[in-house]
A = this chain, B = another copy of it.
Amino acid sequence: MTEPLTTGATIGILGGGQLGRMLSVAASRLGFKTCVFEPDGDCPASHVSNYHVKADYDDPDALRSFAQAVDVVTYEFENIPTSALDIIETLRPIRPGREALRISQDRLTEKEFLTKLGLKTAPFAAVDNGDDLATALDQIGTPAILKTRRFGYDGKGQARIMTSGDAEQALAEMAGTPALLEGFVAFSHEVSVIAARAPDGSISCFDPGENVHQGGILRTTTVPARLNPTQRSDAVLLAANILNALDYVGVLGVELFVTPGELIVNEIAPRVHNSGHWTQNGCAVDQFEQHIRAVASWPLGDGRRHSDVVMENLIGSDVDRVRQIASEPHAALHLYGKAACKPGRKMGHVNRLKPGAS
């Protein structure tokens, strides 16, 4: 499929969380219908989509009827079971493609891919058992961080090793699943590049944002990020390098550690990214629409920043401040319609525009 989707076509979205919700709204702006595949009933994306297939990822009939009801399939998270993708792939194009998913689903594969591209990553080594860990710690040193190779997000599936005495406990936390030891990087700050690539190979990058995490969860993204002109162009070129290597279609998030000498790739995400939410109020075309445009073979839109923005995630009980934030000048609220509020759960975000600057 390289012909542009016509208005009225249906875009299938795997995953019904907040990213699926905002993708669905963006699709509607371009006149597309959406169909969300999500096991949970009252999921955020279902509130703003045409259709909701409420089924599990191990239900082949549901996957088939979902695929047949749509024109193209995209997703809001990378940990989609391979078996589900195998079924969908026989019926409809999946964008971004399987290769991007295969690589980003496994931290080891991802790091090897990035290294092969000539990009810098934190030092890393595969850890399947205690012997591997001992060897890896010898090689990489402490402090280091042990991470499950698969299914990690928002700091989950990670254990710090400050001294070699922490090794046993950290390994126990991996519960026998394949893991990866990563060395610490002495970085001054983290930035991310949200980049899009269309089927014709054209690429558009949003301005890099600067991220602050708390407890493993993104807290704020500020644009513009603190980068000198060389770093800025390096960041964008590096993202384009990744997109081209994957023959990628859609939006990709690239997290980078900034060190005095170089940019180090922390991780990539083959989807719209929390650190790109600022684009909703800082650009004519935001990351969600840019993703839909690419997936639909439309021309990429104008993602230039017209306003400086600070995005703040509203996590758990942060939503108690909503009434107050709603009254703030320059503030644009985005709530996800989640029924239950839990600690660590992303409930919404606020984009604060900086007056008079851009």
Contacts and interface: CB of A to CB of B under 8 A. Distances in A.
A326 B8 CA distance: 16
A332 interface: yes
A302 B331 contact: yes
A335 B29 contact: yes
A246 interface: no
B337 A28 contact: yes
Nearest to A328: B302
Interface stretch (A30-38, A55-63, A86-94, A152-160): A30-38
A301 to B, nearest CB: 7
A238 interface: no
A8 B50 CA distance: 19
Interface string A284-328: 110000000100001101101011000000000001001100111
A24 interface: yes
A8 B30 CA distance: 26
Interface string A30-48: 1111100000000000111
A7 B337 contact: yes
Contacts of A323: 4, 298-299
A336 interface: yes
A46 B31 CA distance: 13
B7 A335 contact: yes
Contact of A326 (B293, B319, B331, B333): B293
B30 A353 contact: no
A334 interface: yes
A28 B348 CA distance: 11
A21 interface: yes
A330 interface: yes
Given A29-B335, A31-B335, A31-B337, A302 B284 contact: no
B48 A24 contact: yes
A33 B338 CA distance: 11
A30 B323 CA distance: 10
A33 B284 contact: no
Nearest to A33: B47
B28 A21 contact: yes
Nearest to A46: B50
A339 B8 contact: yes
B298 A331 contact: no
A299 to B, nearest CB: 4
A306 to B, nearest CB: 6
A329 interface: yes
A13 interface: no
A74 interface: no
Given A30-B335, A32-B337, 12 more contacts: A4-B323, A8-B339, A25-B48, A28-B48, A47-B49, A284-B332, A284-B353, A293-B326, A302-B329, A304-B329, A306-B306, A306-B307
22 contacts: A7-B322, A7-B337, A25-B25, A25-B28, A29-B334, A29-B335, A30-B333, A30-B335, A31-B335, A31-B336, A31-B338, A33-B47, A33-B337, A281-B284, A284-B330, A284-B331, A285-B332, A293-B326, A299-B327, A301-B332, A302-B329, A306-B307
